[in-house]
Amino acid sequence: MRMTDEKDLNEVLCVKNVVKTMNGNEKNNGNSLETKVYKKRWLILGLFIVYTGMSNFQWIQYSIVSNIVSRYYGVSSLAVDWTAMAFMGYYLIFIFPATYMVNRWGLRWSNIIGCCVTCLGSWIKVLSVSPDRFWVTFIGQSLVASTQTIILTLPGRLAAQWFAADELSTATSLSIFGNQMGIALSFLITPIIVKNHENLDDIGAGLSHLFWGVAIILTVALILIVILFEDDPKIPPSKTRALQKLNEMQVEESLIEPIKRLFKNKYYMSLCNSYGLSIGVLNAVGTLLNQIYLVHFENGEEDAGRIGLVMIITGMIGSVSFGVILDKTHKYKYFLVGYVALGYEMCAEYTYPESEGITAGILNVANNVYGIVLILIMGRLLEDVQRRQDARNSVHYVGVEQSEKSNERNGLEKN
């Protein structure tokens, strides 16, 4: 963690006398830690919501119209699934470098780098609208996916650095609300814009409109983040954050030590397992929703998107509602159903005073591992279901054809 000079230390503590004990901790002789909540916290949160929402919009962008993308680019459904699984796979690869970067460079530069890479990937996808350029679109998608290692570790950190103690669950829930809103909009908008036309050029036009819209919005968001986004308020918003910041100033620690402590925390490991399985199932169903639906309902791309929209919206309502209730009650174990947002808040509670970036990062490793495994298993099962469905349709078609021929022969014989 970063060392900070004496001037920064004075911004954290408003004390007249500080007595150092033998173990290096500091006691406050009747003086309180100074805290202040800034109005700008809502602007910071709003910018974060917009850019992370547009990043997550692209997660499901291809797989919700999997059959159309597969036909346009001439690739298998598994290749299309990997455009979504890339978000999970790259997370596992870059989690520790990204966590180090967040702890080393702070909130502002982490968000600028994340938004910049996401924006670059979006513009590369604008150039991929051609049936022979699936590799180009996958490169762009990979760049966007690589920033998930930054995005998914920041909601708890942003809330802790900018919001008061009684606002933490609400702020974290709103951050997740933005992420989920991006996914919900992708479920809704993508099937409307990208239609299953007979002409491939018409499909390409739909993809082009989609890519251009996302790239322009992210470019505007990047400019605003560079101009307006700040790392840390001068005065911490809560006593908990003030003490945590003081600890960061006094102790320079490698990334390995907190990770070792986390793996020894049985409550944290239980949370990782249960959270990972719950969110992994959600990720798998969201990725394969198009294929699950179209096995039974032909030309149902828009209906599949609406199902995904309802699935995400109901989860968003639950997450935000439970986040507000948690700020008032702190009854964590009674609200596990709103797990997407509450997982981060419970993570912070179980692991304080560890860095939110590290704890949230490892928490998300679990759901990405579960997600990839479940997608691969469910994908194979869906292929088997599709084969059986095709076989039944073929038998039905042959049976109908034979019945029609038999009826024709019987009619001729009667005549």
Q: What CA–CA distance (Å, rounded) separates 328 from 177?
A: 19
Mean pLDDT of 224-248: 77
Whether the predicted pLDDT of 251 surpasses 80: no
Q: Is the pLDDT of residue 21 over 50?
A: no
- Torsional class of 13: left (φ above 0), alpha (ψ -120 to 50), beta (otherwise): beta
Q: In sequence order, what are the residues at sequence separation of 6 or more whose Cβ sits closer than 8 angstroms to the Cβ of residue 328?
A: 166
Of 156-160, 330-334, 345-349, 355-359, highest mean pLDDT: 156-160
pLDDT at 120: 96
pLDDT at 409: 62
pLDDT tens column, 312-342 = 777 777 666 766 666 666 555 444 445 555 6
pLDDT tens readout for residues 169-187:
788 878 877 888 888 899 8
Nearest to 87 by CA among 283, 361, 308: 283
- Concatenating the DSSP letter of every residue in 191-209 gives HHHS---SSHHHHHHHHHH
Which of 363, 176, 356, 168 lies closest to 268, judged by CA? 363
Superfamily of domain 39-240: MFS general substrate transporter like domains (1.20.1250.20)
Query: Please, what is the average pLDDT of the chain?
Result: 77
Count Cβ atoms below 10 Å from residue 368 Cβ, excluding itself: 24
Query: What tens digit of pLDDT does each residue of 298-312 get?
Result: 777 778 888 888 877
**Model pTM score:** 0.72
| For residue 361, pLDDT beyond 70 | yes
Query: What residue segments make up the domains of the chain, in order of their start?
Result: 39-240
Residue-wise burial string across 71-109, b where 16 or more C-beta atoms lie within 10 A, e elsewhere:
ebbebebebbbbbbbbbbbbbeebbbebbebbbeebbee
Helix (H, G, I), strand (E, B) or coil at 26: strand
Distance of CA 409 to the CA centre of its chain: 62
State the Cα–Cα distance between residues 283 and 274, nearest whole angstrom: 14
Please tell me the predicted confidence (pLDDT) of residue 13. Answer: 44
- Judge whether 4 and 248 are in contact, CB under 8 Å: yes
DSSP letter at 13 equals B
CB 157 within 8 A of CB 356: yes
